[in-house]
Every structure is written in C-alpha cells, then in structure tokens.
Structure 1
Amino acid sequence: MMISALRGHVAAAMMLFGLMSSPVCAGEVRAAVASNFSAPMERLVALFQQESGHTVKVSLGSSGKFYSQIKGGVPFDVFLSADEAIPKRLVQEGMAVGDSRLVYAVGRLVLWSAQPGFVDAKGAVLYKGGYNKLAIADPRLAPYGMAARETLEKLTMWNAIQGKLVKGENITQTYQFIATENAELGFIALSQVMRDGQMTAGSWWLVPPELHKPIRQSAVLLSGAKDQSASRAFLMFLKSEKAAAVMRSFGYELP
C-alpha cells in the first residue's frame, strides 16, 4: 500500500511539473513584418518554434503602414522593418526599446518580369521601352519603393516614366501586379523571386547597390511587448547562423 501511495505521489508531482513547465515557459510573439520578408519569415518561424517552444504570430504589410499602426496602439511585440529609419524613429519616440534594435538583413532590389527574356541582364529594357506599365511599391510607405525611385532618379528616368508607373501599397501587391502581367515589369525584392539561391521564374536585372541607398532591414522590440522574454529570444534568433543561412538562401546579404 505504501509503495502504491508513493507511486501515486510521484506521478502527481510529475504531472504538476509538466503543467507548470510547459505553458509557463512557452510564450507568444506578435510580429509585424515587412512583406518582402514573408517567405524567409515562414521558414524562420518554423525553426524558432521548434527550438524554443514559443509561438510567433506574423502580420505582413508595408513598413510605413506598420509605423502608423504601432503609433495608433495596435498591439505588436516586435517589428521587422524593411529599413533602419522607422525603427530608429520608434526608439526616439519611446515606442521601441533602444538596446534591442538590430540590422537583421540587407535587401537587394531586382527589376523583374514574369515573361522569360523580357528583362535583359543590364536593365537596358528600361530605356528601350516596349512596355506599358512599370510597377513599384509606393515610395511613401515601402523602403523597396523608395529604393526603386532612387534607382530611377539615378538613371534620370523618374520624371519621364511617371505615366507608366503602377504603385503597389506594399511589395507583395507590387509583385502581384507583375506576376499577373498587369504590369510587364517592375522593381521588387530579390527574395520574392529567389528560393534556395535560385531564381524561380521570369527574367530579371539585379540592380547594382550603388544606384540606391542600402536596404538595411532593421528589427526592434516594441515598448508595449506583452512577452518580452519570448520576443527578445526571437530577436536573438535572427542573429543566429541558422537564421543567416535561411536569409542567404532568399538572396539577402548580411550586415
């Protein structure tokens, strides 16, 4: 009887330990993520959840819109922007934690068409014409859109091409304009058309980085983060070698 009772106590203690350790340690991270990073984020979240036990809820959109939402009180824990400027501004305004800010990736801009052979390797198609619509993300909201504008300005084409521009609210909508051929070509993030180091479809020109300011994508912990421990753990994971390998496979460079 004593042995049986002892076993019962041990089993009860083990069950109690299991109940205490699992839910309490596992947290949830609410992440606002620039839409250019959607594909690598999917892989990174799966790896992070497997390693940490934490879960990550991802919202995708333009960096500029997320800035407005965060200022308006929409509850996020971490913000993965497509630039450095917005996270810095959030820190200055007391909306984000200064010591948490990090550059997690450097993005590349690509001129892309869904049509094979349409875009040449030097981007001369921009001058030759033969297209009715050129898609870019809205430069006021999306850093990749601003990089596209800077590129066109460097090429002294910005003013001349206004009648052909189609602007997406974010880089995902811009990609959709081109993929559905509502625009014959456009400027998007390399990560949208690269998987495991290979281009997936269409034709492209990889824009030389000297034609626009570096796209230094920055992440930050937001001041209102509900679970700071899990959120900081995710930001640390972004600096890991596993995360770096995923980002490289989508065409990102590392800071």
Structure 2
Amino acid sequence: MPSLLRLLAALALSLCAFAAQAGEVQVAVAANFTAPMQDIAALFAKETGHKAELTIGSTGKFYAQISHGAPFDVFLSADDKTAGRLVSDGKAVGTSLVPYALGSLVLWSPDAGMVDAEGKVLATGSFAHLAIANPKLAPYGAAAMQTLDKLGLAESLQPKLVMGENIGQTYQFVHTGNAQLGFVALSQVMKDGKITKGSAWRVPAEMHTRIRQDAVVLEHGKDNPAAAALMEFLRSDAAHAVMASYGYGIIK
C-alpha cells in the first residue's frame, strides 16, 4: 500500500507540473483554415497541454485589428503578404515568419449536378448568384477574381456576384442556397481527401496567384512559450497530415 501511495503522489506531482507548464495562445486564423486549425488545436492540446484559443476572420480585417493593438499572439494569414506587412510595421516578430500551407481554390455547389469538372458552368450563366469573398479583404476572393479575369467572364458575371466578408461567409452563402455556386477554399468542402458533398471544379493553380499562407508570432506573443510551441507544432508531421486531409499543399 505505501508503494501505491507513493506512486499516486508521484503521478499527482507530475500532473501538477504538466498543468503549471501549460499555457494559452490567442490565435487569429484566416477563415479558410478554420476546420483544419480546429483539428490541429485539439492535437496541440493533447500533445503539449497548451490551449490554442481561435478567432476566425478575414486576413484583411485581422491586419487592421492587429495594427490597432488586438491582443493576438499568433496570426495565420491566408496569403504571403499580410504577415510580412505586420513585421514591417513592427507588429510581428520577423524571425518567426514561416509559410505553413498552400491553399486551393474551388468552384463549388451543394447541388451534385451543378458544377462540371472543368467549370464550364460559369460561361453558361445558368445561375442567379455566384458567391466570392471580398477580393480587397480575402486572398481567396482575389484569386476568384483573377480566375474570372482569366476566363474572360469578370465583366459579364459582375451583376451575379455576391460578396462575403471572408471565405467563411462566402461558403455560408452557397451552403444555405443564397447563391447557387461560389468560389470557396477547397478545405471547406473536403475532408480526408474527398469532396464531402455537392459538385466542384478545382481551379488550376495557373489561373490565379499562388495562395501561399504564412504564419507569424505577433509582438503580443513574443514572450509566450505557448505561441512558440504552436509555431513548432504547425510544422509537425501530425499537423501536416491534417492539412493534407483538407486539400492543402504542404510546405516543409
């Protein structure tokens, strides 16, 4: 019995030490990365004991909020420019900036027969509304407009466009039927390497600027061990496996 008590006491002490080391990191997450980051945060907590509190939004709005002192520790951008701008502005730690994923744009509809494998439905105009994210705020919206320009359809489809503030709202427009189809992030309609429902055209990468997504530790989080731990975890095999399952290209 004494040995059992000693074992239980040692276990209690180790658990206390683990809890004492655990921290919390406030993370600003670009909307396209919502689902994978939720999965990664759960793995991160299990692996390290640290808790990642996620706030979801558009890259452009996060830039404005962080510039005005929003207390985030880590920023996961949807592009390869905004995090660097924050470094230049003195709002982020330059040595921490790393690319973490390559995003993919997809034309999607919840209707299984709506979108063909080559996106030719766009030229038919046989739909009332086409949803895209605001190209001034969201890199996926900018990629959508570049795609329409490349197809020579930007002007003719302008009256049909409905714009979401971010890619999350854009997905909701299509998901709820307020738009028959829309340009969304592949990660929003893919799980375990498969389109979960509806029909989709995966837009070829050459149709738009490459969607490289960067992560950075912000000034608010520069002394937070949990922030450093999260940045390291984003480059782990476990995190990469999650990203790949949602259709992201991996950057090592």
Match of 1:218 among 207, 214, 217: 214
The alpha carbon displacement at 1:246 in A equals: 0.5
Gaps of 5+ in 2: none
CA distance in structure 2 between the partners assigned to 1:204 and 1:36 by the alignment: 16
User: Which letter does structure 2 place at the counterpart of 1:85?
Assistant: K
Q: Which residue of 1 aligns with 2:184?
A: 188
CA-to-partner distance for each residue in 1:143-186, whole Å, 9 max, x for gaps?
10011011111111112211000000011110011111111111
Answering whether residue 92 of structure 2 is matched by residue 100 of structure 1, we say no
Q: Which residue of 2 aligns with 1:145?
A: 141
The alpha carbon displacement at 1:19 in A equals: 8.1
CA distance in structure 2 between the partners assigned to 1:214 and 1:176 by the alignment: 24
Q: Aligned Cα RMSD in Å? A: 1.9
Match of 1:168 among 164, 167, 190: 164
Answering whether residue 23 of structure 2 is matched by residue 27 of structure 1, we say yes
CA-to-partner distance for each residue in 1:89-130, whole Å, 9 max, x for gaps?
000111000111111100000000111111000000000111
Could you tell me the percent identity over the aligned residues?
54
CA-to-partner distance for each residue in 1:184-237, whole Å, 9 max, x for gaps?
111000000001111111111000000000100110000111752110110111
The alpha carbon displacement at 1:16 in A equals: 9.6
Which deviates further from its counterpart, 207-216 or 20-29? 20-29
Q: Report the structure number with the largest CA radius of gyration.
A: 1
CA distance in structure 2 between the partners assigned to 1:98 and 1:226 by the alignment: 11
1:3-82 paired onto structure 2 within 5 Å: 21-82=17-78
**1:254 aligned counterpart, secondary structure:** coil
Answering whether residue 234 of structure 2 is matched by residue 238 of structure 1, we say yes
CA contact (8 A) 1:110 1:190 kept: yes
Q: Which residue of 2 aligns with 1:205?
A: 201
Answering whether residue 119 of structure 2 is matched by residue 123 of structure 1, we say yes
Distance 1:93 1:18, change over 3 A: same
CA distance in structure 1 between the partners assigned to 2:171 and 2:239 by the alignment: 24
Q: Which residue of 2 aligns with 1:155?
A: 151
CA distance in structure 1 between the partners assigned to 2:11 and 2:108 by the alignment: 56
The alpha carbon displacement at 1:45 in A equals: 0.6
User: Which letter does structure 2 place at the counterpart of 1:168?
Assistant: G
CA distance in structure 2 between the partners assigned to 1:128 and 1:15 by the alignment: 67
User: Which letter does structure 1 place at the counterpart of 2:114?
Assistant: F
The alpha carbon displacement at 1:21 in A equals: 2.2
CA contact (8 A) 2:117 2:201 kept: yes
- The two structures have a TM-score, normalised by structure 2, of 0.93
User: Which letter does structure 2 place at the counterpart of 1:166?
Assistant: V
